[in-house]
Amino acid sequence: MPDEQIKHVVCGVIFNEYGQVLVGRRRAGVDYANSLEFPGGKVEHHETHEQALIREFEEEVGITVANFKLIYEQRVNGTSEPFHIYFYLIKDFFGQPYGAEGQEVFWLNVDEIDYNRFPPATQLLIQNFILTNNYLNEIYG
Ligand SMILES: Nc1nc2c([nH]c(=O)n2[C@@H]2O[C@H](COP(=O)(O)OP(=O)(O)OP(=O)(O)O)[C@@H](O)[C@H]2O)c(=O)[nH]1
Ligand SMILES: [Mg+2]
């Protein structure tokens, strides 16, 4: 499949004032069902990554996000079709996150993250960006 036809997925990594990261649980019946995830989803036609992140965070966790930085990206073969996934660090948000689509959403301490519970691409993001403490420089540095 030519690269320009591949789906883009954008996900957001957000930390709260306690240094915890926002995580959701994927529902039953979707790919990677019941695994943990960072909120996000597929970029629609004529939408920028930033617009998609803002929309997905409003739809999925009911907060308004701003101030993004790309921290990791990867092509994924996927369970049915390939896609390219982009993880953004989100530096500002407004509102209290909740599972706006009925899914479980919670803040997780970084030292309690078990990366095996996330889809493969997200495992690499966690290993390369969070567990290395690289995120600390981005947020506080
Ligand atoms: N949201 C999210 N999706 C991820 C992560 N890691 C990862 O491989 N994905 C994959 O990215 C793809 C698109 O994400 P999604 O299922 O959230 O898409 P979406 O919100 O647009 O849902 P929809 O298909 O119901 O419209 C899925 O194949 C999903 O498994 C992650 O950390 N967060
Ligand atoms: Mg989603």
Q: How far is the CA of 41 from the centre of ligand 2 (A)?
A: 4
Per-residue confidence (pLDDT) for residue 139, from 0 to 100: 85
Residues with pLDDT less than 50, the chain: none
Residues touching ligand 1 (Cβ under 6 Å) are 9, 11, 30-32, 37-42, 56, 76, 78, 83, 85, 119, 121-122
116 three-state secondary structure: helix
Per-residue confidence (pLDDT) for residue 30, from 0 to 100: 92
Q: Are 11 and 87 in contact (CB under 8 A)?
A: yes
40 assigned ligand-binding residue: yes
How far apart (Å, rounded) are the C-alpha atoms in residues 75 and 5? Answer: 13
Q: Comparing C-alpha atoms, which of 33, 26, 27 is closest to residue 11?
A: 26
Residue nearest to atom 1 of ligand 1 (CA): 40
Q: How far is the CA of 90 from the centre of ligand 1 (A)?
A: 17
Q: What is the pTM of this model?
A: 0.95
Q: Are 7 and 81 in contact (CB under 8 A)?
A: yes
How far apart (Å, rounded) are the C-alpha atoms in residues 124 and 116? Answer: 10
Question: What letter would DSSP give residue 32?
Answer: T
Per-residue confidence (pLDDT) for residue 79, from 0 to 100: 86
Per-residue confidence (pLDDT) for residue 2, from 0 to 100: 57
Written out in words, the top-level CATH class of the domain with range 7-140 is alpha beta
Q: How far is the CA of 45 from the centre of ligand 2 (A)?
A: 16
Per-residue confidence (pLDDT) for residue 94, from 0 to 100: 98
Tell me the C-alpha to C-alpha distance, in Å, between residue 132 and each of 22, 62, 84, 102: 18, 29, 23, 32
What ipTM score was computed for the predicted complex, to two decimals?
0.97
Which residue ranges make up each domain of the chain? Answer: 7-140
